[in-house]
């Protein structure tokens, strides 16, 4: 009897773990290698923006630590960390990158740097709340969040294939 229980438990474990693997692979349409790495990073940045966006739109309560963490993730993955995810010619499906990235590398690199810099400002502003201005009176979290969003949008418009 005990052996049957263990066999059933083992079979159930294999089924459960294999379904997790299949789910993970299909998350980006079978992407592998560097394309999967960048798609995962972009998905995490999108989640970061969604987290902060909910607070900026007053859909969720403001949480300075959550804003700081989300902005820190984007800062960490901006600049050269982002450009490393785009080695020349890495257009394997299901990549959404346009060849324009490598034809206008300097603009792409500048936008990656803008992401890093604007996310750093947002991270630094996180403790100030949504409406209050920073110590230098320049930006609120809402304004800093909008700047990050504009950076993402500008890069996507120029360098990302539009989704249907």
Per run of 10 residues, the mean pLDDT along the chain (length 164 residues) is: 39 36 48 91 95 92 94 95 93 89 96 97 85 57 92 94 78
Q: What is residue 32's predicted lDDT score, i.e. its pLDDT?
A: 86
Q: What is residue 2's predicted lDDT score, i.e. its pLDDT?
A: 43
Look up tokens 């963490």; give the residue.
Answer: 69
**Residue whose C-alpha is closest to residue 130's, from 140, 144, 121:** 140
The tokens of 137 are what? Answer: 């009176």
Q: What is residue 17's predicted lDDT score, i.e. its pLDDT?
A: 34
- Could you give phi then psi for residue 90, rounded to 5 degrees? -85, 70
Q: What is residue 163's predicted lDDT score, i.e. its pLDDT?
A: 74
**Residue whose C-alpha is closest to residue 75's, from 154, 148, 157:** 148
């Amino acid at each position: 009897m005990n052996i049957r229980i263990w066999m059933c438990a083992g079979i159930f474990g294999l089924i459960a773990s294999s379904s997790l693997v299949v789910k993970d692979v299909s998350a980006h349409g079978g992407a592998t290698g560097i394309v999967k790495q960048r798609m995962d990073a972009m998905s995490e940045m999108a989640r970061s923006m969604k987290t902060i966006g909910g607070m900026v739109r007053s859909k969720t309560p403001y949480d300075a630590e959550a804003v700081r963490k989300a902005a820190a993730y984007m800062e960490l993955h901006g600049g050269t960390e982002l450009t490393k995810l785009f080695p020349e010619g890495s257009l394997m499906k299901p990549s959404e990158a346009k060849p324009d990235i490598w034809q206008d590398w300097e603009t792409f690199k500048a936008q990656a740097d803008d992401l890093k810099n604007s996310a750093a400002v947002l991270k630094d502003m996180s403790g100030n709340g949504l409406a209050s201005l920073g110590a230098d009176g320049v930006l609120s979290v809402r304004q800093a969040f909008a700047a990050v969003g504009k950076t993402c949008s500008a890069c996507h418009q120029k360098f990302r294939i539009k989704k249907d």
